[in-house]
Structure 1
């Protein structure tokens, strides 16, 4: 992406760009006090520039029914001003794309990682065929994110006109500006972040020509300017993965907790079919377990060394996983998300890193066992035991 206008505006007054190689390097990494910015989110509200997100406009009368047939989420009847998370899988059920969609006044707005904007738009165009759907990449649209309890109450919520009863994935129009002939943008609530997943999140999607105006208005309403460091740390604490950082080319949805409909804050609806990769999703859900799972790692904070995304996680010198996001948290110190083999327990001593690994331990609270009764497995056990079918 090109350099964010917000980073350009504030570069001489404290805005620090992201580290090289980081997906959000062209947006502010912090404004001089990265740990203080995280604390501000826990106590009030911060506003984060997420202009690295790519935005796609999807129009056409059949846009939702068509999207429903080529993706993992149930969106055919998505109501107006509601959002959902969605995936595109390959034929083997591996995650290729993760995106958020919001339907507003007959247009579906899709946003995803900046590096995936063109590939996703290209895939959607290729799959249109005769459907009345028209996906167009919109580089002029930008995303801001508010995090913290004061994002949904008080002056900030009043500014955005967010009703008190707005639940997750609810969306609404932004107040009108003087440019009535231009798209004004919208706000939407997203799943919460933070250690206890109790910090409300609101995205604001606006045209670039009003980006700075909204940024300054939100700051004047009480939102503290914060960088992507704060957002990443709070996201890691909530164990919410980021495509291409916490996932690799082998990731399947069950490994990163992307299973569930919009009401479950998931991206894969288990009561729908007709999408590429559904066989793998159904097989894992009904018969097996995912080979890996996403966990939170606490890293050794006694050294200044930090491992990097993609580095191996080892146990006794044997590779058992890969690192995703690595970031310093304001309370926990250095932490990371990692995909590790399912049989690696929270009591196992780990090392994280390639050349000079640091000690690591799995946060036991991040290990979530899938205890649902698998229909296929239960049927096999009944056959093995000679029990009569339930409907006999």
Structure 2
């Protein structure tokens, strides 16, 4: 391991101050200037790419952020984009980051430490390559409500939830997170999906909707703080008020004079938070967060390991046109009570008829496999195929797969089932991200499926109805033929 990665200095946390509070940069302009200068002091040696004039401007104290200026994301969006290039990437490169062709951090040459910190301490993941769309206008939540699966009109400012964009047939497009704000709604989508989701939304927009959609991803950065010590790290940053709040809850704080959204939930199960900030403070915020004791930076390679172990479905692997949101185990993001929306009729029918025939499951394997390997039951029947696979630094072999979940017409619980794939033995597990039941408020809607008619009985009844219809048609045909024959005989007798 690179020595510098193990000996990075611990920098005092720059507080994420509440706009109306008495901490950090909101106390007074003079005090704010001292804090900013102290924060920027370690950064001054990293300024050769900016030029002297730009570096001098950067060292000037920023004015304090007044509470009235930070009602929600509007303040962030109205800020000008600074000409500082990729200084976040510069900071990450100093931490031994390895980037892919798109400039996304794959790893920091610390996969073992990062996975250990994710389980026992805390990690920070740069998710700035994920999409961020903002919807403005008085009809924003009602519009989103009709375009995705969750009950979004129930959200108040400061609340949020997951939702699924599906096709009219209920098939998966993307799993998203929506944050309801004072005058807008922020939608987080998967990497590479911002344009597709935006086009999908704009296709269904009418002037009467009074909604505008914009892509704010290029102007913002997004970091996830994950792990059992995430609460403690958040408190070190003086942003701990949101700790322990309900999933999707979020607040607006201030960092170096810029607004920062701090939301509960980091994209994976367990303790986690998402921070969304103006791009201009991304490098400073990343440096401060990763400098906290016990925190490791984590790249997309470890994120993918954690995703597969947690069971979060991904676009192109588990979220495709082949599977519904219920197949994908996303019951927690689906409402059947809220009324009409794109795909609602199909999802309700699938649920009420107990027609889910394949489900997303996790696999714990004894040896490596590859995506596409058939998953076989003990008797050799093919249950499905692997959609995602990872090896961990500790030698674990984990996979996700859609598996057939019906035997003789009845749905069965596959958890614990012995399977094989790619010549390796394994067993089926239910990862923590997936759900098989609706949220508490949806239990009433889910009641009709609590005691469904057995599929075999349904098939028998359908066969009986078909046989009855066939008999009736045959009887009518026989009567018609008899009448026609009688008329023909009468005509011949007359002649």
The CA deviation at 1:49 is: 0.9
Counterpart in the other structure of 1:390: none
The 5 A counterparts of 1:250-269 are 250-259=322-331, 266-269=332-335
How far apart, in 2, do the equivalents of 1:28 and 1:87 lie?
27
Consecutive unaligned residues in structure 1, runs of 5 or more: 260-265, 352-356, 385-392
Counterpart in the other structure of 1:245: 317
Contact 2:336 2:344 in 1 (8 A): no
CA RMSD of aligned residues (A): 3.0
How far apart, in 1, do the equivalents of 2:182 and 2:140 lie?
12
SS state of the match for residue 157, structure 2?
coil
Counterpart in the other structure of 1:271: 337
Counterpart in the other structure of 1:285: 351
Counterpart in the other structure of 1:363: 428
Deviates more, 1:338-347 or 1:223-232: 338-347
The 5 A counterparts of 1:348-359 are 348-351=418-421, 357-359=422-424
2:306 pairs with one of 215, 223, 234: 234
**Structure with the larger helix share:** 2
1:61–1:160: structure 2 CA closer, same or farther, 3 Å change rule? Answer: farther
SS state of the match for residue 133, structure 2?
strand
The CA deviation at 1:79 is: 0.9
Deviates more, 1:237-246 or 1:266-275: 237-246
1:286–1:5: structure 2 CA closer, same or farther, 3 Å change rule? Answer: farther
1:213–1:191: structure 2 CA closer, same or farther, 3 Å change rule? Answer: closer
How far apart, in 2, do the equivalents of 1:297 and 1:230 lie?
18
Counterpart in the other structure of 1:175: 254
The CA deviation at 1:245 is: 2.5
SS state of the match for residue 51, structure 1?
coil
The CA deviation at 1:143 is: 1.6
How far apart, in 2, do the equivalents of 1:134 and 1:380 lie?
46
SS state of the match for residue 117, structure 2?
helix
1:172–1:370: structure 2 CA closer, same or farther, 3 Å change rule? Answer: closer
Q: Could you tell me the TM-score, scaled by structure 2's length?
A: 0.64
Counterpart in the other structure of 1:218: 289
Contact 1:285 1:374 in 2 (8 A): no
How far apart, in 2, do the equivalents of 1:192 and 1:89 lie?
19
The 5 A counterparts of 1:162-201 are 162-163=240-241, 164-179=243-258, 184-190=259-265, 193=268, 197=269, 199-201=270-272
The CA deviation at 1:270 is: 2.3
1:121–1:277: structure 2 CA closer, same or farther, 3 Å change rule? Answer: same
How far apart, in 1, do the equivalents of 2:324 and 2:127 lie?
26
Counterpart in the other structure of 2:374: 313
**2:209 aligned with 1:143, yes or no?**
no
The CA deviation at 1:123 is: 1.3
Instruction: Provide the aligned length of Structure 1 versus Structure 2.
Output: 351
1:161 pairs with one of 239, 244, 249: 239
1:113–1:10: structure 2 CA closer, same or farther, 3 Å change rule? Answer: same
Counterpart in the other structure of 1:387: none
1:342–1:17: structure 2 CA closer, same or farther, 3 Å change rule? Answer: farther
Counterpart in the other structure of 1:354: none
SS state of the match for residue 118, structure 1?
helix
Q: Could you tell me the TM-score, scaled by structure 1's length?
A: 0.80
Write the deviation string for residues 307-340 of structure 1: whole angstroms up to 9, x where unpaired: 13xx142327765323233222355612111112
SS state of the match for residue 105, structure 1?
coil
1:76 pairs with one of 153, 165, 178: 153
How far apart, in 2, do the equivalents of 1:361 and 1:244 lie?
24
The CA deviation at 1:35 is: 2.1
How far apart, in 2, do the equivalents of 1:114 and 1:322 lie?
24
How far apart, in 1, do the equivalents of 2:89 and 2:380 lie?
42
The CA deviation at 1:361 is: 1.9
Counterpart in the other structure of 2:187: 110
SS state of the match for residue 362, structure 1?
strand
The CA deviation at 1:267 is: 1.5
Counterpart in the other structure of 1:54: 131
How far apart, in 2, do the equivalents of 1:6 and 1:242 lie?
26
**2:405 aligned with 1:342, yes or no?**
yes
How far apart, in 2, do the equivalents of 1:278 and 1:37 lie?
40
Counterpart in the other structure of 2:75: none
**2:97 aligned with 1:15, yes or no?**
yes
The CA deviation at 1:76 is: 1.1
How far apart, in 2, do the equivalents of 1:125 and 1:252 lie?
23
Deviates more, 1:328-337 or 1:272-281: 328-337
The CA deviation at 1:300 is: 3.8
The CA deviation at 1:9 is: 4.0
The CA deviation at 1:358 is: 4.5
SS state of the match for residue 73, structure 1?
coil
2:119 pairs with one of 42, 50, 70: 42
1:368–1:73: structure 2 CA closer, same or farther, 3 Å change rule? Answer: closer
How far apart, in 1, do the equivalents of 2:215 and 2:286 lie?
23
How far apart, in 2, do the equivalents of 1:187 and 1:377 lie?
38
1:379–1:150: structure 2 CA closer, same or farther, 3 Å change rule? Answer: closer
Consecutive unaligned residues in structure 2, runs of 5 or more: 1-84, 408-413, 459-495
How far apart, in 2, do the equivalents of 1:295 and 1:380 lie?
25
The CA deviation at 1:162 is: 2.7
The CA deviation at 1:10 is: 3.0
